[in-house]
Structure 1
Amino acid sequence: MVAVIHQGSSLREAVNYNERKVERQVAVLLDAGYYPKDPEDLTFKQRLARLENRAKLNQRVKVNHFHVSLNFAPGEHIAKEDLKQIAALYLDKIGFANQPYLLYEHNDSGHPHLHVVSTTIRADGSSINLHNIGRNQSSKARREIENQFGLIKADGRKGQSFELKPVNLQKVEYGKSDTKRAISNVLSSVLESYRYTSLPELNAVLKQYNIMADGGMEDSRIYRNQGLVYYALDANGNRAGASIKASDFHFRPTLKFLQNQFAAGETDRLKHRAKLKNSIDLILVRGQGQSLEDLMLSLEKEGVKVVLRKSPTGLVYGITYVDHRTKCVFNGSVLGKEYSAKGILDRIGQKNTALQTTAKKLDKKQSSEASDIKLQESVGSFASFDFNANPESNKSSDPLLEDLFTPLSDDSLTPWQLRKSRRKKRKKNISQ
């Protein structure tokens, strides 16, 4: 099971998102916890009013709502009553006991999943602290529920793991809701569960699912306004279809949201650095990394994806490690110089020859051509020199030839005393 906590601006927005799914018949209201009526007897206004009235008990709190999706592995068939119990138990374990909530079951993706909407305001007006709830209370609750209900574990300890599948563009029509839904499914699971510190690091993960995040060029309007868009990639990694603004997704994966994730990822991933470094070192010590390709394949078998950054001419100038075991992303230089692109290439004894070979050939060719030109110029000037002519007529504009044929003065046979320059005597002032 994978729990993904969604960001949003209001209770109404979170409820509306799920209700629209119900209208499109791709979701059903499965339960209404701590409501006075059964879910099927509640109108939309009643569903929303119960949560909003509770939230009004403390209007000083900015984030007064809670929206989480509980995702199960493809192929897992869970009874409706068990789904209700799982949702209720999850809320109790993360500190939402006795809180009113709406439980929706969605069937619009390749795996079964639930959405739960609740409020952070308790009956006495106090609020529930959401800080790090995903990494602390939620992770613990998820593991306990997996054991209790025999679910496929998110960390794959049973030999199975729940993985998101890349967006398959062959099944998507560009510009329609299918594309947006497919991207949304990946973002909702990746953004909260992986630890990254920059947009390029996040893209190292998203690209594996044929998705890219783009903050625009420095002179673009989207960059000036601190905007962010997401778009799909085709099988060759090229942009395909229209981009979708971050604000168009219900959980709003905007640049502001990502900046908070960047800051959290900076500290959260530190404890996992040693594990990744040990994996790389062990492969190299065993001799399994005879080449860069061998190292990448060996790491991939252990659950680490290596993403290379190359110049247009094929020069490898950067390396990023996506550790799916710990869900952490590291640039090579962050791990240390020996784990950077240059450091890895040096350690496996493989030269980064893509540009070096070309550069050496060009330098050799240019040097050879330059030498030939100088030799031809010198020979040409030398051939036109008339040894029998008047010396004045042989004056050349080529300083090289002038230096070559100008006699050198040799003072080596002159006594040192005679070569020494005399000091000028100072005239004494005669006082009169």
Structure 2
Amino acid sequence: MVAKISIGSSLYGALCYNGEKVNKENGRILGSNKIIIPVDGRADIGQMAENFRLFMPKMGKTKKPVLHISLNPHPDDRLSDQDFEILAREYLEKLGFGEQPYVIYKHMDIDRHHIHIVTVNVNEEGKRLNQDFLYRRSKKITTELEEKYNLHKAQREKISPDTPITKVGPNGDFSCQREQNGACSNYAERSRERREAHIKRQVANTVKMVGMRYKFQSMGEYNAILGLYNVRCDTADGRVNGREYHGLVYFATDDNGNTIATPLKASRLGKFASRTAIDGRFERAKEKIDVAPTKRKVAEVLNQSDSKDDFVAKLKERNIDVVFRYTDEGRIYGVTFVDHDTMTALNGSRLGKEFSANALYARFSQQPQPTEQAPIIPVAPAPEDAQQSQSTSSAGTAPTPTQSQSVHSDSGDYDFTLPGLDLFQPGQSFNPDEEEFRRRMQRKKKRGHRPKF
């Protein structure tokens, strides 16, 4: 059995969340302590909030007095309402909250039925209850209850480095036989809610794993990775009641980028998905990213590619996904390379001007004639090749800048040729050092002819 504990400040918010489940027939109230429950089983949220306030001081120093706990047995444990209530009361007693006002709810919006508990962590005198090692004590209690009632051991889903990231999608059956037989009046509504909950879990897992594994420095690079798994993230900035807010909203999409479920605010997924967490990853990535390995592979592929489709396919073979962004007219205005070997997303301009959106658009939209001489993009050698080059230079056999050079790769020796990019490759008569020297002399000459007063 897995227990999740949230400590917050909004009592009404916790009661409203659970009360709506009950009033929509997706849950029921199993029991309470010191809180009056309506006879008809409906959740009178306002009245229940007043009941809680009777046992709480009007003034207190505790800023977050509300505990919202969910107890989640293993799916193979089939428990009755009475079983759930016994587990909840015994759990609270062992945790030290047995005498507090609380309400126990059962949620049935997904096949894995579970319970929620709303209580407060201050007594009638305003003194905060003991919360030392709260989560550790909770884990010990759930283990004891599993052994006492012969329940399956349920653990939180752990994400390991080998856990694959899969595309988000509404796959699966979200109905049950009882509903299909007409036992439930809101069959379609409950199936829709199950589908939404299933998609939410997928989005949360995708966002968590992308944040743990990949390095990115902008929202565009972040979205380039998420988009590979049918997730999109948008910023949400505005002002409410005179206060500014800056958040993120996540969308599940299909392969064409169309939204397939209700948008999810970052707060519904977890702190790892928040604006603060993602901005922090932007900053930390700046010190960790090395563009050289990705740049070298992209340059090698670009020199060999005859078309955009060929370029994309060959990068895929090198474990790199390239994400193009287009205007309504079909022009490329953005490009991001996602290197799954280095776990890095890089906008094309970070690799160099020759890999920017404008350069690639010019490259792939205007193919030169076959008779034109093909200039090349210089490719930085791999570290092991650089060492070999240094040893060769020491032997006096280094090639001059005007000599034809080949670069070694895993597929053999070849000359990198890239048609149609004359602006990236200086001609053989061009010498950067001489050109810079000429410009310096011209500047000195102009300064020397200034009139003196």
TM-score by length of 1: 0.48
Greater helix fraction, Structure 1 or Structure 2: 1
CA radius of gyration, larger in: 1
**Larger RCO: Structure 1 or Structure 2 (Cα < 8 Å, ≥ 6 residues apart)?**
1
